[in-house]
Chains A and B, each alone.
Chain A
Amino acid sequence: MIEIIKKTSINFLGKRNIAFVFSGIIAVIGIIAIVQIATGRANLGIDFAGGTAIQFKFEKPVALHEVRVALESGGLKDFDLQDLPSENKILIRVKKTEEELGRISETIPDILAQKFPDNRFVVDSTTAIGPKVGGRLRADAAKAVAFAVVGILVYIAFRFQFKFGVGATIATFHDVLAVLGVFFLMGKEINLILVTALLTIAGYSLTDTVVIFDRVRENLKLRQRESVEAVMNISINEVLSRTIVTSLTVLFTSMALFFFGGEVLHDFSLAMILGVIVGTYSSVFIANPVVLLWGGKRPFAKK
């Protein structure tokens, strides 16, 4: 048998206070991020904020500042540029314009064609989203997160007990906040793809939590004499190798996506990598301590 870890008896729950402080900070950052997103001060993607994004692929290398100067002299305002020099790609984003949608996606290529006559380009993609659609997508994303949280709470409460549902939901929410917070701090774009990643992370983190809960439930029935805290520690230690092995395999595929999956999935896979790590941490250090702190009668005691 190859074992990453031998039989362990780490006192995970004893470290819950350190974990709570650490996670508290993460959660606060996440909440700040949500407030900033809600008030429109975060780096919202075109799909949420509305606006136009166009990606060009040039034949020859092109300097970012030349594109900036060209666009400015062409009368374009309030835009950001991003480039992918290895493929001569330039991404131009214009946010929140009063102008008629679609006009900008015509003027920008015209300006570039005029200013760079000897460097031909193709338009890789155009995304133009009006404020109405942006608002709807934002609302849908918020609804999706809310429904997922409620669905999870209900299912866990039904399969285990209400306080386990609370523990799992808090742990899951913590993971979502953590990844969102990191993305916010890194100044990364908050868009629909990130929300998809967040919900996937929620699903993954939950799986992890459920596996541990399952063992806790089983052990609570078997080890009637030991304290709940001790049973939880034993259970976490018992499933630790599974937790690590599965996290590793998901990390492998997420990293494959990160390094080889292409530009569009880059941020998605980064979120997944972060989510797997934080999700594994939270099922151990958040979900179980919350159930413990909730108190009440010993769960799953023999009648």
Chain B
Amino acid sequence: MKKKILWRLLLIAFTFVLAVVFFLPNTPLFRYMPEWWKNSMPDKGIVLGLDLQGGLHLVFEVEGDKAVEITTERYTAQLKDLLAKKNISADVTVSGPDIIIIPSSAEARKVVEDNYPALAPVETGSRVAYRISAKEATRIKDSASDQALETIRNRIDQFGVSEPTIHRQGENEVVIQLPGVKDPKRAIDLIGKTAQLEFKLVDDETRVAAELPMSVAAGEEENLLQQFSGKLPEDSEILFEKKVNRETGVMIKIPVLIKKQASLTGDLLSDAKVNLDSRFNEPYVSISFNAAGAKLFEEVTGANVKRRLAIILDNTVYSAPVIQEKISGGDAQITGNFTLEEAKDLSIVLRAGALPAPLKMLQNVTVGPSLGRDSIEAGKRAGIIGTIAVIIFMIFYYRLSGVIANFALFLNIILLLGAMASLNATLTLPGIAGIILAIGMAVDSNVLMFERMRDELRAGKTPRAAVDSGYDKAFWTIFDSHVTTLITAAVLFQFGTGPIKGFAVALSLGVAINLFTALVGTKSVFDIINSRRELKKLSI
């Protein structure tokens, strides 16, 4: 009998020490521990959730349909060139998801079918229409999601966030968690920017170009496009350049007529850096092309001296300088009234590369650091006050046995914190509520036992017999009631999102540990008291 108690006490002591070791990193004490301890002992502890430490939780949808559209457009441009090279006269246009070739000829069809197995014919007759096959479209969408994930990861790495979580969810969603970000707006802009960099020639020769107004007010762009729709050459479009007046801060938009066909694109970049203009002290981004890009840039600039080349990012013109001479070496600059931060972020997105498709924001949960801090403080306060209330009540109602129950409660709290720390579980605000509730429910097992013991005492049993049979009779009740709570906790874990998962973890660990502290902890103390000598009275 005594040996059994000893073993149980050792088990309690062992788990207690283990819990303290695991939880230590969450206490200020950890800083004072010796070096060897910090190096070889657990040092992570409980992780604070985004709602407690502040940060961003973002969900984006990768618009895969757009990636398919972009591919369709690219194929169209390539087909045009290919057919022209083979001297097949045909008109290639895009209409919705279809590539239409007029007139339909066996030669043209053969070129398409030989070179583009991904294209499936949807209509043949006087004209032929091709569409990217469903299987290929799925593949494009899938790889767009993968690429987007990779690009976002690159951007965030370069932005510098400690411990970001980035993962794919479902077919086309990306979930991003950025703890402790100070400037959420900047982070969102950085992630969401498509960053499609293009160099396109300005179409100044056409008569329409001369008819364009010098500038329009911000917000008037749509009207201008309406006014000129139908008048533009087929291979050109109007894009706008932003200009902010330095003194007044008023923003105007300058319309520029630009060739649709890109001369060069951002995927040929090798590097992008922020530099400061020596005259105005204004930041700009200097970019370098890779070998293929540099060669192409040299060709384009050589062939178009005295014409203007527009630098376009996500369909906004940043600048459109006149090409003075052939530029070799593959260096260029992007200017455009940047602040230092904007220039820095632009260089990051250019280095990390463009997104394969635009992103659509589905969810944004941002918590500022001060709210999180307030929540932790409030949670601590509520926890301490709730615990004290329970402790006082138990002593008042059950006397010495109440003290034993409180010992079990104390053990319960320490083991719960230790268990959460050992799993590096994430503590969320609902999680704090879960811990506090678990404290309230923790004494239930003891209450069940005590009430049984009282029944047995009333029935005239000796204290020792009352403890034993009270404990035995209460056992299955305690077990059943814990399992039912575990069922709901498991369901919450399965279906809950971040903060609620934290609640489920806290609650289920609390319940499981409670079984241990009540069935092993409390029982041992009673056994010790009873093993010395037969008690005449049980303080209960």
Q: Determine whether the beta carbon of A196 is less than 8 Å from that of B496.
A: yes
Q: Determine whether the beta carbon of B451 is less than 8 Å from that of A241.
A: yes
B377 contacts across to A, CB distance below 8 A: 262
Candidate in A57, A239, A257 with the most chain B CB atoms within 10 angstroms: A257
CA distance in complex: A159, B487 (Å): 14
Q: Determine whether the beta carbon of B184 is less than 8 Å from that of A252.
A: no
The minimal Cβ–Cβ distance linking A154 to chain B, given in whole angstroms, is 9
- A122/B368 contact (C-beta < 8 A), A193-B430, A211-B477, A252-B440 known: yes
A66 near B: Cβ within 8 Å? Answer: no
Residue from A1, A122, A130 in contact with B362 in the complex, judged by beta carbons closer than 8 Å: A130
A268 contacts across to B, CB distance below 8 A: 430, 433
- A130/B363 contact (C-beta < 8 A), A1-B540, A256-B383 known: yes
The minimal Cβ–Cβ distance linking A112 to chain B, given in whole angstroms, is 14
Residues in B351-367 with C-beta less than 8 Å from chain A: 360-367
The minimal Cβ–Cβ distance linking A249 to chain B, given in whole angstroms, is 5
A199 near B: Cβ within 8 Å? Answer: yes
Q: Determine whether the beta carbon of B447 is less than 8 Å from that of A245.
A: yes
The minimal Cβ–Cβ distance linking A135 to chain B, given in whole angstroms, is 11
CA distance in complex: A265, B492 (Å): 17
The minimal Cβ–Cβ distance linking B259 to chain A, given in whole angstroms, is 29
Which range holds the interface residue count of chain A? 35 or more
A272 near B: Cβ within 8 Å? Answer: yes
Residues in B447-501 with C-beta less than 8 Å from chain A: 447-448, 451, 454-455, 473, 476-477, 480-485, 487-492, 494-497, 499-500
The minimal Cβ–Cβ distance linking B496 to chain A, given in whole angstroms, is 7
Candidate in A105, A126, A140, A200 with the most chain B CB atoms within 10 angstroms: A200
Residue from B370, B439, B485, B494 in contact with A144 in the complex, judged by beta carbons closer than 8 Å: B494
DSSP class of A's interface residues: helix, strand, loop or mixed? helix
A239 contacts across to B, CB distance below 8 A: 451
CA distance in complex: A268, B371 (Å): 17
Per-residue CB proximity of A213-226 to B under 8 Å, as 1/0?
01100100000000
B379 near A: Cβ within 8 Å? Answer: yes
A61 near B: Cβ within 8 Å? Answer: no
CA distance in complex: A272, B444 (Å): 16
Q: Determine whether the beta carbon of B366 is less than 8 Å from that of A125.
A: yes
How many chain B residues touch the partner (CB < 8 A)? 78
Per-residue CB proximity of A111-124 to B under 8 Å, as 1/0?
00000000000111
Q: Determine whether the beta carbon of B393 is less than 8 Å from that of A264.
A: no
B490 contacts across to A, CB distance below 8 A: 151
- A210/B500 contact (C-beta < 8 A), A102-B361, A203-B488 known: no
The minimal Cβ–Cβ distance linking A52 to chain B, given in whole angstroms, is 8
A297 near B: Cβ within 8 Å? Answer: no
The minimal Cβ–Cβ distance linking A36 to chain B, given in whole angstroms, is 22
CA distance in complex: A250, B447 (Å): 12
A128 near B: Cβ within 8 Å? Answer: yes
B507 contacts across to A, CB distance below 8 A: 200, 203
The minimal Cβ–Cβ distance linking A193 to chain B, given in whole angstroms, is 7
CA distance in complex: A206, B441 (Å): 13
CA distance in complex: A194, B257 (Å): 56
Residues in B382-398 with C-beta less than 8 Å from chain A: 382-383, 385-387, 389-390, 393-394, 396-398
Candidate in A127, A250, A251 with the most chain B CB atoms within 10 angstroms: A250
CA distance in complex: A252, B440 (Å): 7
Which 10 residue pairs of A and B lie closest in terms of their CB atoms, listed nearest first? A262-B378, A256-B386, A253-B440, A253-B386, A203-B488, A144-B495, A261-B382, A250-B440, A207-B481, A252-B389
A to B CB contacts below 8 Å, 6 in the list: A105-B364, A124-B367, A125-B368, A126-B184, A200-B434, A264-B375
A residues near B (Cβ < 8 Å) are 1-2, 4, 55, 57, 100-102, 105-106, 122-130, 132-133, 137, 140-141, 143-144, 147-148, 151-152, 155-156, 159, 192-193, 196, 199-200, 202-204, 206-207, 210-211, 214-215, 218, 238-239, 241-242, 245-246, 248-257, 259-265, 268-269, 272
B residues near A (Cβ < 8 Å) are 51, 59, 61, 184-185, 188, 192, 360-368, 370-371, 374-375, 377-379, 381-383, 385-387, 389-390, 393-394, 396-399, 429-430, 432-434, 436-437, 439-441, 443-444, 447-448, 451, 454-455, 473, 476-477, 480-485, 487-492, 494-497, 499-500, 503, 507, 540
